[in-house]
Structure 1
Amino acid sequence: MSASAGGPGSTGLAAARLRLRVVAVALAVAFTSMGVRLIDLGERASERDQPRPAATVDGEEQPARADIVDRRGRLLATDVTTYALAADPANVGDPALAAQALARVLGEVDAAELERRFLAGRRFAWVDRELSAEQLRGVMELGLKGLHFLPRRKRIWPQGELAGHVVGFTGVDQQGLSGIELALDRRLREDPEPLVLSLDLRVQQIVHEEVGEAVKRFRARAACGLVQDVESGELLALVSLPEFDPNRWQRTGPSERRNSCTGNIYELGSLFKVITAAMALDSGKVGLSDRFDATEPLRIGRHRIRDDHAKRRPLSVPEIIAYSSNIGTARMAFAAGGGEAEQAFLRKLGFDRPLAVELPDRTPPLLPSRWPEIVAATVSFGHGIAVSPLQFANATASLVGSGRLLRPTLLRLAGAPEPGPQLISQRTVTDLRWLLWLTVEKGTGTRARLSRYALGGKTGTADKPASQRRGYRSGEVVASFVGIFPIDQPRYLVLVSLDEPKGDASTYGFRYGGWTAAPVVARIVDRSGPLLGVPPTEGETLQALRERLLVSETPHALTGHPEERLAALDAGR
């Protein structure tokens, strides 16, 4: 029921009871709200714009939503009780005096506007839709007639912007409007038990800090950073920048609230060579001992495919991946079956449909409508195909983990998930892990190398497509790095994508993923691995990885300069 304040002529007993109610209500609000940042719900709408809600006419609170917590029980979202203040203008006495007195106590209420509401000739008028404990106490002490305190449930998000894109936010009537709050709205309304997410706020904080620092340093437009368990598919961190605080979501625009990890799709460039390598090796038509000519650009009709890190010689399959050769990757794709094989493999990975994950903001992949030879070539190294960072990460985690398709989830799993369909053989899984280790050890990913863990990974840099014409924008790229650790027995995948980074003096102006994103992944791994209980890689493991590698030095056929050559010793398949 609503609490009504009596007038100055009340009896002493009534006044005493009133004071007791004041103290009780104020203490309840104060203790409920302790440690919680109450947010401004925006402009107070007039009663003409906002009719009195049925849920508060009789003073009853709105239905509660379940709490949302991380995997270790830390609070991400909860309900608190606040009080709104309304008036029956016919009973407030002198409207002008009452409005002035309330404005002095509430501070942010305009006395003239409040007086106008009182004189509108209606029996209900909003005064303030959310009172602090101090304001509640002050209004009660005024002793004005005709005021009603209406208990209301308010959703708050104690972690603020740290997990805003994941948790989301609700509207004034407690309905979910984005994130988990929207995707699992019915669950949160109907089941009072806390909803436990897969997120680990310790890891989320690390990713948020490291990716945020990279965005600032390289002046990136946006970014995504995530950590996924390659055995269960659980996401321990999912960070989208720019961030937003769900407690103040009205102050942000749609672009800030858009999830860069799931709602944006990108051409991810050479990251896709992981997928092409898995497809080619598993086809049985390409082996680690094979070599493909990358001496000259690859001509397909009127098009030419070139290498950014050109070696201008035949390359072994390990060199194609480690040095990120577009020419070699396209030749591998053609050897494995070309566009037809690519399309079949991408369907197996789920790239023909939106990613199934507990978020409403999911943009499906953009695949070519036609698949001529030039498209098959460019898709092999990540151009002409656009996917969200999370969808690519999940595919890679599936390939380097068990070789079975994972289902990514933001919910903590009670047990082992149901195994997905087999994508590639265990032999291909093992070879793929070794190729990714080699990329960090000797290739384009050396800036991700760590002393604590054997890390495998792949760099990727892709020009951004032009929006108003065919072709690509000059100087605007998406730079990424995907890392897996420990690479001999993978536990976690870490992906960082930077949208339009700018190189600085320390990168010699380079925007490549190997210069900008790879070191960020390394720092995330180095900081989060010990927290997650991942032991350092032992020397014997590193030795076993190195024993597969044959390094030789041979004069280059064109320049005559000695050059390091890489090959796999046990390349027979």
Structure 2
Amino acid sequence: MSFLSRIMLLKSQAHFATGSDRAAGGKTVAIKGTGKRKSELARKRVGLMIAGFVVAYGVIGGRLVQYGYAHPETVSSIMPADRLMASRPDILDRNGEVLATDIRTVSLFAEPHKIVDPDEAVEKLATVLTDIDIKGTYKKLSSNSRFQWLRRQLTPKQQSQILALGIPGIGFRPEKRRFYPGGTTASHIVGYVNIDNRGMAGMERYIDSQGLADLTALGMTTDTPLEPVRLSIDLRVQNIVHDVVVDAVKKFEALGAGAVVLDVHTGEVLGMVSVPDFDPNNPAASAEEGWLNRMSNGTFEMGSTFKSFTLAMGLDSGKVKLSDTFDARYPIRIGRYTIKDFHGKNRILSVPEIFQYSSNIGTAKIADTVGTEGHKAFLERMGLTTRMQTELPEVATPSQPREWKKINSITISFGHGVSTTPLQTAVAGVALMNGGKLIQPTFLTRTREQADQVAQQVLRPSTSDDMRYLFAVNGIKGSGKKARVEGFNVGGKTGTADKVVNGRYVSDKNFNAFLAAFPIDNPQYVVLTVIDEPRTDKGNGAALAGNSAAPMVADIIRRSAAILGVEPKFGEDGSALLVSY
């Protein structure tokens, strides 16, 4: 037998069982069969599989334990809530009442790669979110992205209903939402935030400009509550002012109206309203005109209220005294322009009478006495022709002639030719009442000592005394009679300005104002009201400031004076008491 044949014989004997033993050199060789060999191989394979599963699940379990102890940022593809939506400070009024605060809410998101059936998911979501964009949502859910916002800032009820739908790949993200308890009451002052809690207007925007926005962009803010921002606003006064302004717009069917209350010693704004306004909880729902803050971001010709500054200019220059008289019998003609009085007395008038009867002719002659350059410099000194400095971002720049000529000085003396903001007019009015100190307004709390540090002396104290006298006379005998409130000695000056339409003044569209102070013997507060295109009950649009803006002042003072701490005085010497039995 060949060598190759012997090897093949031995190999066959090793792979096939014969059921017999063969002796070889005194030893027994066991021949294993095919079935037994297969069983051993199977057992080895099962063992290897079991070992593989043990290792795999051991690794998974270990990773789960590791993830359980890891920071959330390590295990989440979505930014953590603290980074996405940092806390904003609460905004409070001067008494601690909340004007704006953060509340916790949730937003709905999807992970499209986990969505099983986009059509079904959209149909289910539409049963809860009835206004959902069907096509847009389907496009998001069928995309290849790993994250899509579906709806920001849900209500708890909506969250509960969506959870009950059991849609895979749908989740909720905790966020913060800005809430304004007062709604429209102080909307133009407080402002509002966007969907990402960033300040867009008002004091909300101011807060961001003080560094909060920069810190948020750098990721250096958390959800830790911040120190509240306390405003100068008194919410009680603010609510009164808002009520009065809204009622005036309705009563006179006006385009708009506004009012402001200022502390004459500190420059603090106690209340300021512009209507139309908006709800900061849902600013997008308001009409565009509601976003305009007429008081600080709208410029208007303020009419005869400017006569207050013209007379103050004459008195402060030393060229005019209260005892002086001016001839108001004849109109003033300059080129093709004629200056005349609305209700002319056609006689020589004293300075108090010029103010009381609101004489354009007399006022123009006082301005001419000072001169054009002196007039321009005085208004600039009073802050009426430059942009006002305050915390509120929405502040307009006044307009004035590029070149002042004599005719400009004449018309500006009684409020035509310069447009400024109502708030600036009130601030300048404060200087007339507080001894001649111009104090830039503030919407934050400020002490009297702090105000003195930033105040500018723009008038002599004696000029302020004279202006208080003129305001008092006009409040008793002149156009301010409808602003009087028994016990509070209100003084002031009306302003009825014709509006410009297509480049020309029209007499049937007015912008009316009333600048007031109380108590006029020792002024503590200045109140300015404005109303844009008021209509009389006849609907002719010719309502005068004495009949529209002045009563607004009376309503504000009557309801807020006690809140502001002003005690009423009755009788000639102020010692009498009003007693009702």
Give the TM interval when normalised to the shorter protein.
0.7 to 0.9
Determine what percentage of the aligned residue pairs are the same residue.
42
**Candidates 373, 385, 388, aligned match of 1:355:** 388
Aligned residues: 486
Secondary structure, counterpart of 2:323 in structure 1:
coil
Change (3 A) 1:176 1:113: closer
The answer as to 2:434 corresponding to 1:411 is: no
Judge conservation of contact 2:266–2:447 (CA < 8 Å) in 1.
Answer: no
Single out whichever of 101-110 and 296-305 deviates more from structure 2: 101-110
For 2:238 and 2:86, the matched residues in 1 are separated by 30
Partner of 1:218: 252
Partner of 2:544: 512
Judge conservation of contact 1:486–1:537 (CA < 8 Å) in 2.
Answer: no
CA apart distance, 1:540: 4.3
Question: Structure 1-normalised TM-score?
Answer: 0.80
Change (3 A) 1:125 1:457: same
CA offset digits 1:249-299 (Å, max 9, x no partner): 112344320110011111111100110111111111111111111111122
Q: Which amino acid aligns with 2:96?
A: G
Q: Which amino acid aligns with 2:510?
A: V
CA offset digits 1:94-132 (Å, max 9, x no partner): 333333333334444366654443223333333332221
Judge conservation of contact 1:300–1:374 (CA < 8 Å) in 2.
Answer: yes
Structure 2: 5+ residue runs without aligned partners?
1-75, 216-224, 576-581
CA offset digits 1:126-145 (Å, max 9, x no partner): 33322211222233334443
Partner of 2:425: 392
Q: Which amino acid aligns with 1:399?
A: L
The answer as to 2:158 corresponding to 1:158 is: no
Secondary structure, counterpart of 1:238 in structure 2:
strand
For 1:114 and 1:324, the matched residues in 2 are separated by 65
For 2:161 and 2:252, the matched residues in 1 are separated by 50
Partner of 1:311: 345
Partner of 2:18: none
For 1:59 and 1:536, the matched residues in 2 are separated by 54
Judge conservation of contact 2:510–2:541 (CA < 8 Å) in 1.
Answer: no
**Candidates 397, 402, 405, aligned match of 1:372:** 405
Partner of 1:109: 132
CA apart distance, 1:455: 0.7
Single out whichever of 150-159 and 194-203 deviates more from structure 2: 150-159
**Candidates 142, 151, 166, aligned match of 1:119:** 142
CA apart distance, 1:78: 1.2
Judge conservation of contact 2:508–2:540 (CA < 8 Å) in 1.
Answer: no
Partner of 2:555: 523
For 1:508 and 1:249, the matched residues in 2 are separated by 33
CA offset digits 1:37-90 (Å, max 9, x no partner): xxxxxxxxxxxxxxxxx9954454411111111111111111112111212233
Single out whichever of 507-516 and 132-141 deviates more from structure 2: 507-516
For 2:359 and 2:252, the matched residues in 1 are separated by 25
CA apart distance, 1:483: 0.9
For 1:149 and 1:120, the matched residues in 2 are separated by 19
For 1:154 and 1:273, the matched residues in 2 are separated by 48
Partner of 1:432: 467
The answer as to 2:285 corresponding to 1:262 is: no
CA offset digits 1:207-232 (Å, max 9, x no partner): 11111111111111111211000110
For 1:156 and 1:56, the matched residues in 2 are separated by 25
For 2:380 and 2:263, the matched residues in 1 are separated by 22
For 2:81 and 2:426, the matched residues in 1 are separated by 49
CA offset digits 1:311-362 (Å, max 9, x no partner): 0100011100011000111111222x22122112112112342001111221
Within a 5 Å distance, the mapping from 1:213-252 to structure 2 comes to: 213-252=247-286
CA offset digits 1:368-393 (Å, max 9, x no partner): 22222221111111111111000011
For 1:426 and 1:125, the matched residues in 2 are separated by 66
Secondary structure, counterpart of 1:109 in structure 2:
coil
Partner of 1:496: 529
Judge conservation of contact 2:534–2:541 (CA < 8 Å) in 1.
Answer: no
The answer as to 2:330 corresponding to 1:296 is: yes
Q: Judging by fraction of residues, say which structure has more helix.
A: 2
For 2:297 and 2:77, the matched residues in 1 are separated by 34
For 2:247 and 2:421, the matched residues in 1 are separated by 22
Change (3 A) 1:334 1:541: farther
Look at both structures and tell me which one has the larger radius of gyration over its CA atoms: 2
Q: Which amino acid aligns with 1:532?
A: L
For 2:77 and 2:472, the matched residues in 1 are separated by 59
Partner of 1:571: none
Change (3 A) 1:220 1:90: same
Judge conservation of contact 1:333–1:342 (CA < 8 Å) in 2.
Answer: yes
Partner of 1:183: 206
**Candidates 275, 278, 299, aligned match of 2:312:** 278
Judge conservation of contact 2:190–2:203 (CA < 8 Å) in 1.
Answer: yes
For 2:120 and 2:331, the matched residues in 1 are separated by 84
Judge conservation of contact 1:181–1:188 (CA < 8 Å) in 2.
Answer: no
For 1:55 and 1:328, the matched residues in 2 are separated by 76
The answer as to 2:499 corresponding to 1:464 is: yes
CA apart distance, 1:402: 2.4
Change (3 A) 1:130 1:449: closer
Judge conservation of contact 1:87–1:147 (CA < 8 Å) in 2.
Answer: yes
CA RMSD of aligned residues (A): 2.2
Single out whichever of 385-394 and 175-184 deviates more from structure 2: 175-184
**Candidates 310, 317, 320, aligned match of 2:354:** 320
The answer as to 2:89 corresponding to 1:66 is: yes
For 2:507 and 2:492, the matched residues in 1 are separated by 27
Question: Structure 2-normalised TM-score?
Answer: 0.79
Within a 5 Å distance, the mapping from 1:441-452 to structure 2 comes to: 441-452=476-487
CA offset digits 1:436-481 (Å, max 9, x no partner): 0100101121111221211110011111123x43x31341111111
CA apart distance, 1:428: 1.4
Judge conservation of contact 1:76–1:157 (CA < 8 Å) in 2.
Answer: yes
For 1:59 and 1:141, the matched residues in 2 are separated by 24
For 2:96 and 2:115, the matched residues in 1 are separated by 47
